[in-house]
Structure 1
Amino acid sequence: NRKEFALILTDAQMPGLSGFDLVERIRTMPDLAYPTILMLSSARGLQDVTRSRKLGISVYLTKPIRRSALHSAIRTALRQPDRVKPAREAGSRKPRSSRTLRVLVAEDNLVNQKLAAHMLERVGHTPIVVGNGREAFAAMQNDKFDIILMDIQMPVVGGFEATRLIRELKAPTGKRTPIIALTARAMKGDREACLAAGMDGYVPKPIQSKKLMELIAELTGTSGQSAADAEVKPTTGDGDGVLDENALRATTGGNRELVGELAQLFLQELEPRMQEIASAIREGDAERLQFAAHALRGSAASLSAAQVTASAAALEAMARKGNLSKADSVFVCLEGELAGLTARLTILKREA
């Protein structure tokens, strides 16, 4: 009937015509003012979140939702000075100019902290780094961020729990800060688990700068062109498996000083980490071994140290299954591989 409404509240999943299809039809009526649209859904995924942004949906809420949170989201959305207009189709879209984003990085591994911060700074963003989920939650209580990079496996409070706490904290405001999961695991269903936990995207470790920046650009509506420009393509990799220096240089954008800093951080953490692994094996503590081996694997993978990465992954897998019968032999192999890697990293640190 061409009636205009200030607010439309619609469910995403309805028989016959879904909420997204409804919004698409509304957007084909150019003579209507753009109404504020709130979408409710019992399912959540990156595809739905991305589609909501493209259609100009002001708020995307996950059911069940408390009445107070819904009222707050409506008040916040109606206070916006301009109605959110849908994004143009890919063929005619003009990307927004890139802007500096404040990025909260929740990561306990020093090597990965340094590397993630460098990748973000290289394209003009401002990283704020915390070491666990509790610190991430505290940061969200006291500050504002455009997006969050959240490691899954962290001490004190893990990534899933931290995400749940952040979503509950921000639910009454109707504001949803995008959260990208970072994980060294490559298990089937991990991506789906991250999305179900309230995250908006998933990036496996070791982090590839181009993929990370493209996802950040997609979730924040900013241009990702500078990220592509900053990407350095690796040349033919080293074949010995100890350390792929070409891949490491590509990861760091050819920054020799950063390579030296990463080498220093890895070596700094190595002795206590190996002591933790040895102690866990000796005491038959699978949980401790899994955590320590996971941390070593993450650092080694970021440095492109294939042999150490593989051995640490083997220990992590044994610990996850609770079978440590072969852990001693893998540990001996790991010690030999680390001797070669340590020598190479010491040289890189000296040359930086």
Structure 2
Amino acid sequence: MSRVDEERTGLEEGQLEESAEELYEHAPCGYISTRPDGLIIKVNQTFLSWTGYQREELLGRKRFYELLTMAGRIFHETHYAPLLRMQGFVRELRLELVCANQLTLPILINSVQKKDAAGTPLLNRTTIFNATERKLYERELLLARRKAEQEAQNKAALLATISHEIRNPLSALTAATRLLGMTPLSEKQEKYLRILAASSGSLLALVNDILDWSKIEAGKLSLEQRPFDPRELLIGIVNGLAARAEEKKLLLRADLDERLPARLLGDPVKLGQILTNLTSNAIKFTERGSVTLTLAVRAQHEGECSVDFRVSDTGIGIAPDQLATIFEEYTQASYDIGMKYGGTGLGLSISRKLLELHGSKMSVESVVGKGSTFSFELRLKTGEDVSTEVPRSAVPEQALRGLRVLLAEDSDVNTYVLTHWLERWGIAFDTVQNGRLAVEQVLKGGYDLVLMDLHMPGLNGYEATRTIRQQPDERLRQLPIIAISASAQLWQHGSVRQAGFTDFISKPFDTDVLFRMMALHTSRELPEPPESPEQEPARPRPEPLASATAPAPDFSLARLEQRADGDPQVRAALARLTLHELEQTRPALRSALAAGAPDKLEHLCQELEGTIRLLDADALAAALRRAKSLLASDKRPPARVQAVTFAVDWEMEALIEALAGIANQDF
């Protein structure tokens, strides 16, 4: 190599060495080297630029931990230094430096300990990253998270408010529809009633789906653990959906494994919701054939049982490329299916989320044009073979007869609907419109159960129940109090339980569910069936016209038939006389209530006593008793007067229509 080449090579090496030093000094991260005792022996310019220190201030003068905040110094002694000694390195530790201007700088550090051949520590090399932007980013993420959580809470509160505003009138609508179905109807009226019932049912299903999804999204759902009978659960679902299957001429059946335990421990409400969603979907998307619910025991261990749940149909099926999307919220298999069959597309998504709470997942098998099968497996503990609920089929209406119930409800329409059913079941009851009056009535004693609306003016249901539970009387602490509300926030069952409520039912409610709940919490036993035909039979009731499952009206024409002694002309004449009396008295009752004239009302009630006994008009008698009680009171809120007038007029109308059908018959 010539001298010129040697000089050029030496120059290039010098340039490279200088470039390496520049890279060290101006790297995008800080570098410091310390002795094992922490004394700083080398530092790059980047670190100095960040902190504002001069090189001579640090080298040989400062230990690394002296540059940290007080909390950082403690962390250095308790975590950083021991870790470095034990494992020879430390990665991704978050600390804060105190800069020359006394401001703090958030940093992330990685340290490596260098040792000699004998394993003696020589120095520590530390790489420092400026975490200012990262900290700002994390703060922005935290603020965004808090904002999202607040928006979710606001959305939940909005849904709760909307729910309350929708479900209250919807409760009255569905209840009035059912009550209307108990009255004599023409064929055209029955058709209109079916449309009304179907539309209100669809609206309720829509509201429930949206609210269920909001509960799951807000993480407010949790699983309960209580004994239930899986056979009873499945049969109840099949019975509840049988009418829809019959309308489409589908065979709906349940296939139960004989090895299925009599009692399982789990959450029957949420499990029932999953199975109901799947079965309802199967019926919706099946035009002919069958829908089958199967419960099969996959494995049994001591105290546990693995159960395979399957819902199969012979419906339209799902295309392979659509199987991945059907569990997404607000999504259906295709636009055409959504347009034809309707629905929110939330049912399967809700079911999937509920199964995730159980630690399980949904599987689906489907062939287009041949049908689908949805299945999942749950491992449930087995429970004792004891009855935990009172089946509706096992408790006749007279089982609640004689109960004393207090109803606290501020809505006159809801009060009327509820008291109608209480009267049907032979329950003695009082009504109040706010929590303060509810507490006063309960303290007077004598009630077997309280139905308490949560949202009332003044003292609400929560406060009223807490007040009752705080009384020294042990009987009041054990008194069954059932919460009633249309609010979506009632999925926060913890607050309901903490307030002291025994149970909860949401509006619009199923009267059968309310009946079972009241029977359960008052420990009403099933009366023994008659052993011989000589026992006095129950009073005959006419068959309802609109629905084969609706309860009979609260009057009977049996006595009128007996007086006619089988003569149709005499029966028609008696009906015309009674009809004339009711038609004459009806406007007089309205007038007495509107004028607030208790004496006139009492006189009219006395005139109607014979007619009420003739027709066994229990509901009209109860409505008149409430009217007399209201007029005897010093306080007569116009809304209460209007509600009582409506109740009396409703019962009078039912009797007039029934009698008119007999009086106008041709012979």
TM bin, normalised by shorter chain, reads: 0.3 to 0.5
Q: TM-score, normalised by structure 1?
A: 0.39
Which one has more relative contact order, counting CA pairs under 8 Å at least 6 apart?
Answer: 1
Structure with bigger strand share is 2
- Scaled by the length of structure 2, what TM-score is found? 0.22
Which of the two has higher C-alpha Rg?
A: 2
